[in-house]
């Protein structure tokens, strides 16, 4: 069959790469894709947020299924529009995707499903939210309800910082946060700050059943030692050595399965990837957030370890056939290091020529996933904040890290920025 993938980032490159390896897949199309994706897929010049353009493209190509990568088109109803024209799509409907585009909805759903999470309060008035933050009595996490392109969460260590966080998020919302709260005026969520270490787990769902994938650990801060501003993700490792098999089983049984079951019981079955961002606390796993799609850059760390046919898994989810299905992974480790453009995540400099090493010189255990790249007059150049995701596999995490950084040091573009400690703290 043919498969159409929507998106243009490193996550979508990894998805296209995994699909292209499947004997079930004849051809992969990507819209709009990027130069790296073009090595494994045929590109179509349709923007990911152009819902009508996506539907028209699917009508033209008639793929066996459409995989929607980013959250924005899911929140805009891409799957609903595709289904209305008879196309099988991997991804939740707009109603089910609300688990990401409304943090308040997600928290309320967790309460109804009994999913462990942080104590929280929701406010519609920014002044009331500021008053609550000033009297919280400890560190507080302030979140803007709705999609905010990774800029909707601020961890405040003091009451004064909490008040300023509300002001900052209110100002950002006033500037029309991308895909912001669809219910009018912005809402603010105040949460207790959880202590522990973070883990990301993907659950592939057909609307009733869920298959968990190997856990990963993201690195959000821009600089070594978890310093600097939050980013879309500077790297990831998989699996997470300090997460025990028992804790992983607990995540499946107390987080993924109850959430999927609750959504189905409420008449909004979730088909696609449910991403659980978790804090592993002394009391056990607690949910920080749910996302309605694969994470980036965790996908670039997880999919290269998969032994199973990725296309078969995705197709089974689309067809409602995941009951009893399991997924095998290599008994190895992966490390993904993101190379970002100068100025990321704030004032990004683009258009810098990129020099890549010969693929053969990197070896079979190292992969380059393109994110913010473009071709200009035949030259590969930087075209976004996160430029490349360099993933390597090893028998242990240190071997994987060593291979990844060896490849990173062979890649050249002016202003290249990357963390040097991805995975260093993963063992605890």
pLDDT of residue 173: 84
Looking at the chain, the domain(s) classified CATH 3.30.470.20 span 197-408
Beta strands in 9-147 (DSSP E): 27-32, 42-43, 65-68, 89-90, 120-123, 140-144
Q: How far apart are the first and last CA of the chain?
A: 44
pLDDT of residue 90: 98
Q: Which CA distances in Å does 275 have to 22, 83, 169, 229?
A: 23, 22, 24, 22
Per-residue pLDDT of the chain (428 residues; tens, 9 = 90+): 999 999 999 999 999 999 999 999 999 999 999 999 999 999 999 999 999 999 999 999 999 999 999 999 999 999 999 999 999 999 999 999 999 999 999 999 999 999 999 999 999 999 999 999 999 988 999 999 988 766 788 999 999 999 999 999 998 887 754 444 444 578 999 999 999 999 999 999 999 999 999 999 999 999 999 999 889 999 999 999 999 999 999 999 999 999 999 999 999 999 999 999 999 999 999 999 999 999 999 999 999 999 999 999 999 999 999 999 999 999 999 999 999 999 999 999 999 999 999 888 888 899 999 999 999 999 999 999 999 999 999 999 999 999 999 999 999 999 999 999 999 987 66
Contacts of 358 (CB under 8 A, 6+ apart): none
2-94 adopts what CATH topology?
Answer: Rossmann fold (3.40.50)
Contact at 8 Å (CB) between 337 and 418? yes
Report the Cα 318 to chain-centroid distance in Å.
20
pTM of the model: 0.95
Contacts of 199 (CB under 8 A, 6+ apart): 215, 216, 217, 240, 243, 251, 278, 279, 280, 285
Domain 125-186 belongs to what architecture?
Answer: 2-Layer Sandwich (3.30)
Contact at 8 Å (CB) between 78 and 51? yes
pLDDT of residue 150: 67
Looking at the chain, the domain(s) classified CATH 3.40.50.20 span 2-94
Looking at the chain, the domain(s) classified CATH 3.30.1490.20 span 125-186
pLDDT of residue 184: 57
Superfamily of domain 197-408: ATP-grasp fold, B domain (3.30.470.20)
């Amino acid at each position: 069959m043919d498969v159409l993938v929507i998106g243009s980032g490193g996550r979508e490159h990894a998805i296209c790469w995994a699909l292209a390896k499947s004997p079930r897949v004849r051809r992969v199309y990507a819209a709009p894709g990027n130069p790296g994706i073009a090595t494994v897929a045929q590109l179509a010049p349709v923007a990911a947020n152009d819902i009508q353009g996506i539907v028209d493209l699917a009508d033209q190509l008639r793929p066996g299924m459409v995989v929607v990568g980013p959250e924005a088109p899911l929140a805009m109803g891409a799957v609903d529009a595709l289904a209305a024209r008879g196309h099988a799509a991997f991804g939740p409907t707009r109603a089910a995707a609300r688990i990401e585009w409304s943090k308040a909805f997600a928290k309320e759903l967790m309460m109804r499903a009994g999913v462990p999470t942080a104590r929280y309060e929701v406010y519609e008035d920014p002044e009331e939210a500021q008053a609550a933050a000033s009297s919280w009595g400890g560190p507080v996490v302030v979140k803007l309800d709705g999609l905010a392109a990774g800029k909707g969460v601020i961890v405040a260590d003091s009451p004064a910082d909490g008040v300023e966080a509300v002001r900052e998020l209110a100002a950002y919302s006033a500037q029309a946060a991308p895909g912001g709260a669809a219910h009018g005026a912005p809402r603010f969520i105040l949460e207790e700050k959880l202590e522990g270490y973070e883990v990301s787990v993907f659950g592939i769902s057909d609307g009733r059943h869920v298959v968990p994938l190997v856990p990963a650990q993201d690195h959000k801060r821009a600089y070594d030692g978890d310093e600097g501003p939050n980013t879309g993700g500077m790297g990831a490792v998989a699996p997470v050595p300090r997460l025990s098999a028992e804790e992983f089983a607990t995540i499946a049984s107390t987080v993924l399965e109850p959430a999927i079951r609750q959504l189905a019981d409420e008449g909004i079955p979730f088909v696609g990837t449910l991403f659980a961002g978790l804090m592993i606390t002394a009391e056990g796993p607690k949910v920080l957030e749910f996302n309605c799609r694969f994470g980036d850059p965790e996908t670039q760390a997880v999919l290269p370890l998969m032994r199973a046919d990725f296309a078969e898994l995705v197709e089974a989810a689309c067809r409602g056939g995941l009951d009893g299905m399991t997924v095998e992974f290599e008994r190895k480790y992966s490390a993904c290091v993101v190379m970002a453009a100068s100025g990321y995540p704030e004032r990004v400099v683009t258009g810098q020529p990129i020099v890549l090493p010969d693929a053969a010189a990197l070896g079979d255990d190292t992969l380059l996933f393109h994110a913010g790249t473009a071709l200009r007059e035949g030259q590969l150049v930087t075209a976004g904040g996160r430029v490349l995701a360099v993933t390597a596999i090893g028998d242990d995490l240190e071997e994987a890290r060593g291979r990844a950084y060896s490849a990173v040091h062979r890649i050249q573009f002016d202003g290249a920025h990357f963390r040097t400690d991805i995975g260093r703290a993963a063992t605890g």
